[in-house]
Amino acid sequence: MTACRVIVTAESMTWAEIAGQVATGYAASVIGCDAEAGIEKRLQPEDTPDGRPGVSLLFFGFGRESLQKAVVNRVAQCILTCPTTACYNGWPVVKDKAISVGGNLRYFGDGWQFSKKLEGRRFWRLPVMDGEFLCEDLFGTVKGVAGGNFLIVAKSQKEGLSAAEAAVTAMRQVPGVIMPFPGGIVRSGSKVGSRYKKLKASTNDVFCPTIRPLVRSRLPDGAGAVYEIVIDGVDLSAVESAMRVGILAACRPGVVMLTAGNYGGKLGPFHIHLRRLFDEPAAARND
């Protein structure tokens, strides 16, 4: 996947987080959304370009063209419109690997917009009703890794959800990753394909406890609920590190098995084997 990092600042952390939450909404899976996105972390004033509190957002798309469209639309509708915000690029800009965000949004200024270049970076200033909206012109992109996953199989819904919440809390401390689904947790894990021709994906029936007698279930005896954690990261190492931390945190009472979705290589070139994550050389290399 192609990824970009968007830095959003505002007069308060409250407004920065509101902008970040709205801008990354409806971005759980590219199966049905224009992008996969989430809040990477909070940023203190000393860590932002304008000395205000902010948040770092990660966006993932299939390519630069689709990513640019999604980011421009989301910044326009959710960050430009949010009180006091400004929007900055979070990665170095490499020629032919950047997307234009401020450069597309400038037309909202209806001719009153103007640009300023600071230290080789161009910024667009658009007049709005509470002052100005500042947005950087170009945003750098990298080739990220999306779709790392593991499944938490538990005796009950309550115990499974508690383990999943603990996993997500731990994983949010790992830099360079997001868990794009609601609260970082997926109840509707999917498989590739469907008996219905128009659907690219459908329910992962072998992990659904209510139809266990009707399918070739992969659930052990006593399993009553399964939750999936999906991870997108800036590189493979970040995804692996987050998975390792999350799996350890999920080892709680009531969890009977930890496994992962296996898609037979149909979803991309990266294959992450759970047991290998805990090989000592791999753990030392990534952490």
The tens-digit pLDDT sequence of the chain (287 residues) is 999 999 999 999 999 999 999 999 999 999 899 999 999 999 999 999 999 999 999 999 999 999 999 999 999 999 999 999 999 999 999 989 999 999 999 999 999 999 999 999 999 999 999 999 999 999 999 999 999 999 999 999 999 999 999 999 999 999 999 999 999 999 999 998 899 988 989 999 999 999 999 999 999 999 999 999 999 999 999 999 999 999 999 999 999 999 998 877 777 788 899 999 998 655 555 54
Residue extent(s) of CATH 3.30.70.520 domains in the chain: 2-142, 145-286
Is 87:6 a contact under the CB 8 Å cutoff? Answer: yes
Structure-derived torsion over alpha carbons of residues 248, 58, 30, 151, reported in degrees to the nearest 10: 0
267: tokens are 């979803």
Bridge partner list, 153: 226, 257
Right CATH for 145-286 from 3.40.50.2000, 3.30.420.10, 3.30.70.520, 3.30.750.24: 3.30.70.520
pLDDT attached to residue 149:
95
Strands (E), the chain: 2-9, 36-43, 54-61, 86-89, 98-100, 114-118, 121-128, 131-136, 138-140, 142-143, 145-154, 177-178, 190-192, 201-203, 225-233, 255-259
pLDDT attached to residue 280:
60
pLDDT attached to residue 225:
98
pLDDT attached to residue 264:
74
Is 42:57 a contact under the CB 8 Å cutoff? Answer: no
Cα(37)–Cα(14) distance, rounded to whole angstroms?
19
CATH topology of domain 2-142: Alpha-Beta Plaits (3.30.70)
Element (H, E) at 65: helix 64-74
